[in-house]
């Protein structure tokens, strides 16, 4: 029996389970830290004549309580916006741990956005000094940014006001409308400089290489969620504390931390992993900015895929295909 889980089922499974999502993401990070996962390098399919487009394969195995292997296949085609389509689309294949047989194909754009947002919110809660009131600046106004806003609100970040900067002002204005559902009357569209002045900064763009000034230095106490990974020049990272999800994964594929490694000649600029912070093994200096750079571990997709699949089994919109495989 093989199950096909459409987008609407994934949305319903995750939207009403944000506490469970946060718990699952945290447990996945800790399982990864304990060596209970297999998380090979992501593989990029690129197109020489279309450098902005890519499709990424993320194979992973999450052991422990979940015990499930799988593969996320996710595309990013920024030009889709001009066609009225989302930039990203994805599927997640899940396998039975005992037989290796695929058991389900899940629409995974929602899973990917939610696991990214939950990771960002978990990091903000762990890294924010004192967890006091904060202004939040969003650079980029797409699905990822909106979902991060949802999770920052859910985790109770006390937002004084928020700003959004996007290359398309209409998208920034739409984002403000979304954010004000959480923080009424406190949002606004702003230029890049004003957005970078907020206490918490969220980078969620499709940038392929750093575009911020090389001279930029984040302020003491700022918390930067470097979700899109390629906005910031390495010189800026070298002047901050740096937390990653996995050192080997994050320092590759020309991410900002990878460029910082090449520039500095080593990895000493990496302060630790998010698991180090969660387990109290990494003490942050409150007078210095901290940047969280998550490459995006496939085990997080498996963790949320398990939640969606469990919900989908009792949802009539799930398509069950008998005899999909030869017995």
Give the burial string for 182-216 (b: 16+ CB within 10 Å, else e).
bbeebbbbbebeebbebbbbbbbbbbeebebeeee
Residue 232 burial (10 A CB sphere; 0-12, 13-18, 19+) = buried
Strands, E assignment, the chain: 2-5, 37-38, 43-47, 50-62, 68-76, 88-95, 102-107, 134-139, 159-165, 187-189, 200-203, 223-226, 241-244, 270-273, 290-293, 319-321
Radius of gyration for the chain, computed over Cα atoms and rounded to the nearest angstrom: 19
| pLDDT computed for residue 151 by the predictor | 98
| pLDDT computed for residue 114 by the predictor | 98
| pLDDT computed for residue 25 by the predictor | 98
> First and final CA of the chain: distance in angstroms?
10
Q: Are 216 and 189 within 8 A, CB to CB?
A: no
Q: pTM for the complete prediction? A: 0.95
| pLDDT computed for residue 326 by the predictor | 80
Output the tens digit of pLDDT for each of the chain's 327 residues. 899 999 999 999 999 899 999 999 999 999 999 999 999 999 999 999 999 999 999 999 999 999 999 999 999 999 998 999 999 999 999 999 999 999 999 999 999 999 999 999 999 999 997 778 999 999 999 999 999 999 999 999 999 999 999 999 999 999 999 999 999 999 999 999 999 999 999 999 999 999 999 999 999 999 999 999 999 999 999 999 999 999 999 999 999 999 999 999 999 999 999 999 999 999 999 889 999 999 999 999 999 999 999 999 999 999 999 989 887
Could you give all domains of the chain from N- to C-terminal order, each with its CATH number? 2-111+299-321 (3.30.1780.10), 130-296 (3.40.50.720)
Q: Are 92 and 69 within 8 A, CB to CB?
A: no
| pLDDT computed for residue 130 by the predictor | 76
As a whole number of angstroms, the distance between CA 98 and CA 82 comes to 44
CA-closest candidate to residue 143, choices 92, 208, 191, 78: 78
CA-closest candidate to residue 137, choices 155, 124, 118: 124
Give the burial string for 288-310 (b: 16+ CB within 10 Å, else e).
bbbbbbbbbbbbbbbbbbbbbbe
DSSP code of residue 284? P
CA-closest candidate to residue 26, choices 245, 227, 270: 245
């Amino acid at each position: 029996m093989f199950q096909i889980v459409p987008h609407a089922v994934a949305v319903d499974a995750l939207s009403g389970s944000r506490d469970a999502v946060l718990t699952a993401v945290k447990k996945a990070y800790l399982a990864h830290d304990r060596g209970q996962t297999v998380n090979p390098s992501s593989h990029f399919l690129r197109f020489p004549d279309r450098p902005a487009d890519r499709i990424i394969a993320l194979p992973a195995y999450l052991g422990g309580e979940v015990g499930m292997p799988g593969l996320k296949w996710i595309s990013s085609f920024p030009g889709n916006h001009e066609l009225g389509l989302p930039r990203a689309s994805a599927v997640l294949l899940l396998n039975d741990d005992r037989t290796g047989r695929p058991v389900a194909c899940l629409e995974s754009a929602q899973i990917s956005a939610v696991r990214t947002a939950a990771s960002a919110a978990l990091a903000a809660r762990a890294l924010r000094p004192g967890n006091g009131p904060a202004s939040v600046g969003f650079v980029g106004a797409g699905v990822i940014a909106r979902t991060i806003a949802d999770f920052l609100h859910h985790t109770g970040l006390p937002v004084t006001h928020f700003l959004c900067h996007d290359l398309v002002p209409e998208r920034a204005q739409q984002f403000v409308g979304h954010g004000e559902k959480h923080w009424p009357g406190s949002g606004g569209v702003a230029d890049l400089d004003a957005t970078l002045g907020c206490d918490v900064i969220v980078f969620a763009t499709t940038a392929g290489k750093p575009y911020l000034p090389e001279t930029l230095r984040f302020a003491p106490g700022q918390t930067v969620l470097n979700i899109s990974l390629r906005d910031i020049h390495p010189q800026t990272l070298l002047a901050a504390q740096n937390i990653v999800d996995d050192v080997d994964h994050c320092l590759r594929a020309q991410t900002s931390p990878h460029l910082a490694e090449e520039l500095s000649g080593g990895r000493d600029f990496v302060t630790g992993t998010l698991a180090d912070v969660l387990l109290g093994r990494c003490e942050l200096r409150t007078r210095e900015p901290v940047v969280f750079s998550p490459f995006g571990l496939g085990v997080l997709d498996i963790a949320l895929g398990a939640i969606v699949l469990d919900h989908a089994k009792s949802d009539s919109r799930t398509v069950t295909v008998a005899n999909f495989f030869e017995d």
